Amino acid sequence: MTLTLALQLAIAGISVGSIYALVALAIVIPFKASGVLNFGQGEIVTFGAYAALVLTQLALPYPVVLIGVLLLGAMGGIVIERVLVRPIVKAPEFTLVIATFAIGLLIKGAISIHFGDSPNSIDGPFGSDPIVAAGLRFNPTSLWIFACTVLVTFGVIAFFRYTRLGKAMRAVSVNADAARLMGIRVERVYRWSWAISTAIGALAGLLVAPLIGINPEIGQLILRGLLGAVLGGFTSVGGAIVGGLAVGLIETFAGVLVGSTFKNLVPFLLLMALLVFRPQGLFGAAEIKRV
């Protein structure tokens, strides 16, 4: 493997890893806040991609599409939290896992029914002609994805550190009852944690659409996102991002080293190995509890 190839692969890995990182982030945020793992997050990404499709077909300029997708994603999250998650938030873990899983499949089913299964696509905001620099080829869409991921990461970190709602969210994730006693409206925090998470997930859908097309199966990449979240330890923004990027890199390099037959198996074998040997991932605490 030459250096150029390795670097090129690394670029590809980081660009696809950025998507996984966003998905992992979208999973970790409501998990930290309310202890609910949204197994339907993949379908939020699909939803985002189709929302982008619809808005683009309305001939709206890209920045408007972007904001539209974020808003629609956030609204979707608020609706889901209110209607489907709130009634069962106190239920046993089994119910929550199955319910969020089911919600995801519901979204996918609805999308399938409405749009059909045939693939669609939209263009990236900066075209698809590769940018050549330092002997390496960069896909402008990939650069844009990476830039967005970096922005979102810093945005989320700043949100948690400097805004009142962000600090309230951190308080709730540590001890919801104590937070309630301190006057924090915990239900409002849950609602916003979901809204933020689904907005990020929908954004990931918009971003990834030019790369892989738009079809109801996009949601499958939640598994990579989950792997990234597990790798990162489920407990921190940084962990989710690093985890997602790592998964992207591993997947890209595995594809070259292991061949296409087994390339798809690698993430899942890695997931199983992690769950068996180190479920807390790279950065998580050793004792794993539901909040």
Partner 1 sequence: MRPRIGSWLPILVIVALAAAASTLRSYPVYLLSLAMINIVAAVGLNLLTGNSGQISLCHSSFIAIGAYTSTLLTAKFGLPFWATIPCGAVAAAALGAVLGAPASRLRGIYLALATLGFLQIVQIAIEEFANVTGGVRGLIVAKPTIGGIRIGDYARFLVVLGCCAFAVWTARNLLASRVGRELDAVRQSPHAAQALGVSLQRVKLGAFALAAAYAGLAGGLQAIVVGFIDPVEFGVSAALRQITFIVVGGMGSVAGSIIGAAVLSGLPEVLRPVKEYSDVIYIAILLGFLIFMPHGLVTAWDAAKRRWRGLPQSPVAEAAR
CB of 7 to partner 1, least distance (A): 29
Q: Please, are residues 244 and 150 in contact by the beta-carbon 8 Å criterion?
A: no
Q: How far is 48 from 46, CA to CA, in rounded Å?
A: 5
Q: From the CB of 88, what's the least distance to partner 1, in Å? A: 6
Q: What is the largest CA-CA distance in the chain?
A: 60
Nearest distance, CB of residue 80 and partner 1, angstroms: 11
Segment 210-214 long-range contacts (CB within 8 Å, at least 24 positions apart): 210/121, 210/122, 210/123, 210/124, 210/128, 210/141, 211/15, 211/16, 211/124, 211/139, 211/141, 211/142, 211/145, 213/119, 213/120, 213/121, 214/49, 214/50, 214/52, 214/53, 214/119, 214/120, 214/121, 214/122
How much is the CA Rg of the chain, to the nearest whole Å?
Answer: 19
In the complex with partner 1, which residue's Cβ is closer, 256 or 271?
A: 271
- In whole angstroms, the minimum distance from the beta carbon of 108 to partner 1 comes to 8
Q: Residue 112 Cβ, how far from partner 1 at the closest point, in Å? A: 8
Q: Smallest distance from the beta carbon of 173 to partner 1, in angstroms? A: 16
Kindly state the smallest distance separating residue 168's Cβ from partner 1, in Å. Answer: 24
Q: What is the sign, positive or negative, of the torsion defined by CA atoms of 126, 132, 138, 144?
A: negative
Between 81 and 184, name the residue whose CB sits nearer to partner 1: 81
8 A C-beta contact, residue 203 and residue 71: no
Q: Which is nearer to partner 1, 85 or 122 (CB)?
A: 85
Nearest to 29 by CA among 178, 169, 186, 228: 169
Nearer to partner 1, 225 or 248 (CB): 225
Minimum distance from CB of 224 to partner 1 (Å)? 11
Q: Which is nearer to partner 1, 182 or 265 (CB)?
A: 265
Tokens of 70: 């974020």
Using the minimum distance from each CB to partner 1, give the nearer residue, 184 or 246.
246
Residue 17 or 42: which CB sits closer to partner 1?
42
Chain residues that interact with partner 1, rule: CB under 8 A: 37, 39, 84, 87-88, 91, 93-95, 97-99, 101-103, 105-106, 109-110, 112-113, 223, 226, 230, 261-262, 264-265, 268-269, 271-272, 275-276, 279, 288, 290
Per 3-state DSSP, the chain is made up of helix, strand and coil in percentages (nearest 5) of 75, 5, 20
Rounded to a whole number of angstroms, the distance between the first and last alpha carbons of the chain is 45
Q: Closer CB to partner 1, residue 60 or residue 266?
A: 266
| Burial annotation 195-225 (CB, 10 A radius, 16+ → b, else e) | bbbbbbbbbbbbbbbbbeebbbebbebbbbb
